[in-house]
Amino acid sequence: MTISTTPLPVEVEAPVAKPAAKRSRLWAWLIFIAGALYFLVPLGATFWWSLRAEAGVLGFEAYRRLFDDANFWPSFTESVVNAVAAILLSLIIIVPTAYWVTLKLPRLRPVVEFITLLPFVIPAVVLVFGLIRLYGRPPLLLTATYDSSRVLLICAYAALSFPYMFRSVDNGLRAMDVRTLTEAALSLGAGWPTVMRRVIFPNLRVALLSGALLTFAIVIGELTIALFMAQQTFGPYMANLTRSKVYEPSAMAIVAFALTWVAMGTIALVTRPGRRR
């Protein structure tokens, strides 16, 4: 009766499955903790170090010095303005493009998607040399003055934001049946500007915000391009600080982290599921 023994392994296997599940959950936790430590220990150490600017006491002296630094606020504001300008430029280019591609030229989507991905593929150093070579000579001598270089920098940042911006806008458009909504609005008598203003933009708000905040987080600390274009923005300021000071860079790193987290937290807040409008 050898055949009757075949069901047995199944019965043996069943009780084994439970401890296996438990063990895998244990592993999951271990990996999670290891990952969290990998991330948190340097951060904690940096924070700890930033508190030790005054000999013998733990305090926020490094932060005070940082915020008092004559170059901190100007470079920070300049970066914020650059970021906002880059976001606006990026929105003006990406939203109509994505809308039109979705509505009228869906076959071009892969092409547009690839183009918007290029900033991921091309290193910033290559990008900046390309820009300088192209725009640093007549007829478009954009690198001649500080302000014209700044315009070029903003354009470069807008390009850097394309991957994030296009993806969020595209997701937003896909989630809302653009074609039918547009047609419904048109049949009710709306013109194209009204369709954009009253139907497309309001329904894209969350997508636009997440794209904008990602762009902000990238632009605010960007170093390479700003450095090569001799711009006194936040990125070069931070790099310079690291070279010349001891405790302030750590304080700076913590501040930069906090900024990024605020941006990320805002995204999470506005995109959280179950939210209406």
Give contact residues for another protein (rule: CB under 8 A): 176-177, 180-181, 183-191, 194, 198-199, 202-203, 276-277
227 vs 270 by CB, closer to another protein: 270
CB of 108 to another protein, least distance (A): 16
What is the sign of the dihedral through the CA atoms of 142, 143, 144 and 147? positive
**Closest distance to another protein from the beta carbon of 185 (Å):** 7
For residues 186 and 259, which CB has a smaller minimum distance to another protein in the complex? 186
Pick 159 or 200: Cβ nearer another protein: 200
Residue 201 CB, shortest distance to another protein, in Å, is 9
Report, in Å, the least distance between residue 4 CB and another protein.
42
DSSP the chain: --GGGTTHHHHHHHHHHHHHHHHHHHHHHHHHHHHHHHHHHHHHHHHHHHTT-STTS-SSHHHHHHHH-TTHHHHHHHHHHHHHHHHHHHHHHHHHHHHHHHHT-GGGHHHHHHHHHHHHHS-HHHHHHHHHHHHSSTT--TTSSHHHHHHHHHHHHHHHHHHHHHHHHHHHHHTTTHHHHHHHHHHTT--HHHIIIIIIHHHHHHHHHHHHHHHHHHHHT--HHHHHTT---HHHHHHHHHHH-SSHHHHHHHHHHHHHHHHHHHHHHHT-TT---
Q: CB of residue 238 vs another protein: minimum separation in angstroms? A: 40
Give 152 or 208: the residue with its C-beta nearer to another protein.
Answer: 208
Q: Which is nearer to another protein, 180 or 244 (CB)?
A: 180
As measured in angstroms, the least distance from the Cβ of 189 to another protein is 5
